Amino acid sequence: MNITLNGERKSVPDNVTVMGLLDLLQIRHQRVAVELNETIVKKDNYPGTVIKDGDMLEVVSFMAGGA
């Protein structure tokens, strides 16, 4: 199925969850925020939130730093 991930079209397996997508992309789920169709997904819901064809996701990484 096809989704939009951070503004780019991407093909992913059917019935993949948010957690499964992060694993597939080798992204550590502890250090990101995920928005699914303009709604923030709580980390506790990553394993049970199934992504559907045509969904739009934004994955934002937390970065340390500052002056």
Q: Would you place residue 62 in the very low, low, confident or very high pLDDT band (cuts 50, 70, 90)?
A: confident
Count of domains forming the chain: 1
Residue 56 lies in a domain: yes
Residue 54 lies in a domain: yes
Q: Is the pLDDT of residue 12 over 90?
A: yes
Tell me the CATH number at 22.
3.10.20.30
Q: Is the pLDDT of residue 65 over 90?
A: no
Residue 66 lies in a domain: no
- For residues 26, 62, 18 and 37, what is the CA-based torsion angle, rounded to 10 degrees? -130
Neighbouring C-beta atoms of residue 65, cutoff 10 Å: 4
Percent of the chain past pLDDT 90, that is, above it, reads 84
Q: Is the pLDDT of residue 16 over 80?
A: yes
Residue 18's SS3 state is helix
Residue 67 lies in a domain: no
Residue 15 lies in a domain: yes
Residue 50 lies in a domain: yes
